[in-house]
């Protein structure tokens, strides 16, 4: 194999501009292909990472809808107690979210307000501390900047709740910290407080309502979900895996479809590019190939030479395509994340080794397929007729 | 190995027909010919008379439509492509009118090519290539690319390449066709030397001077051997 590879290399360097164009073409196409592969799984992987990072591996809802999107759990304290008593469960945190207007002096901002029961916070404190006391509140960076407040400041909160009075009175909250909340989106304010304080703000203390229950299992999430389903058949329990599966079936299929279509087009383009380059190159050398065959080179050998040329072009271009693709993915990710409603911690393009392996496999297949036609030309080359034609031409 | 009666290649009533859209064309018709070791044969004739086609059949790059062709005792019709390639690699050398040296390789590397294909170790083929380039008078040009050589020098490198695997038969198709008279004379002298050193030589040529150096001159017309002169 080394002799055909060396021979193919010499053949490529014989035509530097054409070979360079081929390699650059493959690098560009390979970069796009890699990006399509990263895009096809990016949001799913990013979502998975985000869910895992929160520390809960089971989510319990009142319906089959995704957490926070369906009916609320009424009588949440009873459900929390029943689920927390299960041996497969380590901790249960009820979570409820409502809309709220936050105001400080003459500034105000519309915010999502999370009410979290239990002790495990779902946010990361950037400055200050968790909301430990009555009517403490953490806000995200955007809310802090918009209101011009820092930990220790007092803000007025007017909640707009799905349960309780339609227009509860405004309530004063003390900002205990500035935090990064899960599913925060850029230029969107969010805040979080203890669940009891959210219920106070909604004018319905002790309402006992939660959008969903976040559960930490004792180690086996699937077993915990089954146990919860058995203990409370009126509720639905999803592990992170099941949740990701549902998201894959619904929201993110578009990205996979788009990336599949674009990846296919990209590969077809690479295929045509290399086939044309190799075919032109082989057609220009038919006389030489026929002469080599006359001198005793086997059919297998001249075919292998063409395959090696294809492998070298695609291999070199493929290697260059990886850093190019990663750089392009970062740039595209920045652009796509400007879309409204995209959480800051979510990414459209997520690098994973499996995608790189798949990318290499697809490029190898491209090299092989692209070489098929020129290989056929040299394999079926009539030696005598070609030598005769070369002299006549 | 030599065939029956010491013959290298024996053609018995070989015919080559090319199927064409306008009807079949008979390029070579009922030719019988034997090439003995060390022989020097020239084939002459007008363009299109079948000289090159006959040469290609003798060199096993083309197969007769009918008749029998035996190379060193082996019936060519019974050999597959791989076996024919191996036979050409080890027993036949080709020199072409248009040289067909690979432009990206040096003169020495061009001469090494058939040896590499035959599995000769790198050091041995380098030594043999330099020896052959010395033999053709181009020892000092071993590291030059074809683009840095004259037409005559390229043809001498092509002859060295054809001799690389010590063939018993050297076939040359218009070896001086692209050279001026003086350069052609040098190449002809080199071919004489190759023949004198024991390699059988079959040359297709229009050049009467080159043909005049051969021991046997065959004249072809319309695919047949019309005449034979022994000198």
Nearest residue to B80 via CA among B60, B65, B57:
B60
Average pLDDT of span A36-48: 84
Tell me the two tokens of residue B96: 């072409």
* Whole-complex ipTM: 0.92
Question: Chain A contacts of B162, Cβ < 8 Å?
Answer: 295
Query: Three-class SS of residue B72?
Result: coil
Q: How many CB atoms lie within 10 A of CB B174?
A: 21
pLDDT of residue A347: 86
In terms of CA atoms, which chain A residue is nearest residue B84?
Answer: A296
- HEC readout, B181-213: HHHHHHHHHHHHHHHHCCCEEEEECCCHHHHCC
CB atoms A383 and B62 under 8 Å: yes
Residue B68, pLDDT above cutoff 60:
yes
Please determine, for residue B23, whether its predicted confidence score (pLDDT) is greater than 70: yes
Give the per-residue pLDDT at B182.
87
Q: How far apart are CA B160 and CA B176, in angstroms?
A: 15
What does the pLDDT look like over A53-64, one tens digit per residue?
777 889 999 887
Structural domain spans, chain A:
2-51+251-392, 63-234
Predicted confidence (pLDDT) per residue in B113-171, tens digit: 999 999 999 999 999 999 999 999 999 999 999 999 999 999 999 999 999 999 999 99
- pLDDT exceeds cutoff 60 at B1: no
- Give the per-residue pLDDT at A393: 65
Mean pLDDT of A232-255: 82
8 Å CB contact of A391 and B161: no
Taking the Cβ of residue A387 and every Cβ of chain B, the question of whether any pair is shorter than 8 Å is answered with: yes
Residue A9 near chain B (CB below 8 Å): no
Tokens coding A198: 């959210």
Contacts of B80 in chain A (CB under 8 A): none
Residue A317 has pLDDT above 60, yes or no: yes
Q: Which residue pairs, CB below 8 angstroms and at least 24 apart, start in A306-309?
A: A306/A8, A306/A278, A306/A282, A306/A371, A306/A374, A306/A375, A306/A378, A307/A4, A307/A367, A307/A368, A307/A371, A307/A375, A308/A1, A308/A4, A308/A5, A308/A7, A308/A8, A308/A9, A309/A8, A309/A11, A309/A12, A309/A278, A309/A281, A309/A371
Neighbour count for residue B158 (Cβ, 10 Å) = 29
Eight-state DSSP code of residue A101: E
In chain B, what are the domains? 4-230 (3.40.50.300)
Is A189 touching B (CB cutoff 8 A)?
no
Taking CA–CA distances from B53, the nearest residue in chain A reads: A384
Contacts of A291 in chain B (CB under 8 A): 94, 96, 100
For position B15, what pLDDT does the model report? 96
Measured between beta carbons, which residues in chain A are less than 8 angstroms from residue B52? 384, 387-388, 391
């Amino acid at each position: 194999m080394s002799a055909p590879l060396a021979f193919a290399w010499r053949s490529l360097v014989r035509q530097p501009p054409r070979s360079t164009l081929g390699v650059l073409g493959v690098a560009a196409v390979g970069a796009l292909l890699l990006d399509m592969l990263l895009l096809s799984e990016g949001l799913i992987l990013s979502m998975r990472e985000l869910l895992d990072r929160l520390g809960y591996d089971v989510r319990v809802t009142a319906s089959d809808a995704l957490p926070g999107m369906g009916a609320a759990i009424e009588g949440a304290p009873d459900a929390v107690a029943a689920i927390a008593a299960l041996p497969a469960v380590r901790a249960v945190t009820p979570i409820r979210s409502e809309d709220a207007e936050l105001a400080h002096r003459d500034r105000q901002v519309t915010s999502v307000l999370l009410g979290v029961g239990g002790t495990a916070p779902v946010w990361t404190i950037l400055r200050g501390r968790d909301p430990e006391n009555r009517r403490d509140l953490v806000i995200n960076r955007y809310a802090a900047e918009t209101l011009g407040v820092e930990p220790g400041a007092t803000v007025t909160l007017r909640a707009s709740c799905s349960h309780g009075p339609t227009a509860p009175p405004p309530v004063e909250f003390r900002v205990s910290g500035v935090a990064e909340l899960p599913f925060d989106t850029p230029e969107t304010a969010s805040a979080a407080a203890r669940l009891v304080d959210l219920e106070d703000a909604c004018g319905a203390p002790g309402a006992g309502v939660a959008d969903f229950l976040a559960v930490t299992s004792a180690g086996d999430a699937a077993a915990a979900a089954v146990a919860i389903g058995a203990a409370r058949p009126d509720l639905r329990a999803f592990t992170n895996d099941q949740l990701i599966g549902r998201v894959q079936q619904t929201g993110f299929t578009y990205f996979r479809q788009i990336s599949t279509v674009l990846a296919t087009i990209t590969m077809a383009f690479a295929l045509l590019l290399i086939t044309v380059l190799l075919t032109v190159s082989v057609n220009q050398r038919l006389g030489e190939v026929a002469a080599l065959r006359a001198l005793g080179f086997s059919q297998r050998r001249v075919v292998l030479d063409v395959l090696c040329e294809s492998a070298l072009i695609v291999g070199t271009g493929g290697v260059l395509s990886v850093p190019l693709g990663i750089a392009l993915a970062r740039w595209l990710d920045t652009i796509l994340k400007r879309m409204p409603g995209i959480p800051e911690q979510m990414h459209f393009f997520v690098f994973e080794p499996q995608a790189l392996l798949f990318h290499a496999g697809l490029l190898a297949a491209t090299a092989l397929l692209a070489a098929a036609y020129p290989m056929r030309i040299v394999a079926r080359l009539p030696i005598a007729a070609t030598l005769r034609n070369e002299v006549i031409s | 190995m030599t065939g029956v009666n010491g013959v290298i290649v024996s053609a018995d009533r070989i015919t080559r027909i090319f199927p064409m859209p306008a009807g079949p064309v008979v390029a070579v018709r009922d030719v019988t010919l034997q090439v003995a070791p060390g022989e020097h044969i020239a084939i002459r004739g007008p363009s299109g008379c079948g000289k090159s086609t006959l040469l290609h059949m003798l060199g096993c790059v083309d197969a007769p439509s009918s008749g029998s062709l035996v190379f060193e005792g082996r019936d060519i019709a019974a050999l597959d492509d791989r076996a024919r390639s191996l036979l050409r690699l080890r027993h036949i050398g080709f020199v072409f009118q248009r040289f067909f040296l690979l432009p990206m390789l040096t003169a020495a590397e061009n001469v090494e090519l058939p040896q590499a294909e035959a599995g000769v170790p790198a050091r041995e083929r380098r030594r043999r290539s330099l020896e052959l380039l010395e033999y053709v008078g181009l020892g000092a040009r071993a590291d030059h690319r074809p683009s840095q050589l004259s037409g005559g020098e390229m043809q001498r490198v092509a002859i060295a390449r054809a001799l690389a695997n010590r063939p018993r038969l050297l076939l040359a198709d218009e070896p001086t066709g692209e050279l001026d008279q003086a350069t052609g004379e040098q190449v002809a002298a080199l071919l004489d030397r190759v023949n004198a050193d024991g390699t059988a030589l079959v040359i297709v040529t229009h050049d009467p001077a080159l043909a005049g150096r051969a021991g046997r001159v065959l004249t072809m017309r319309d695919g047949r051997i019309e005449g034979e002169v022994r000198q």
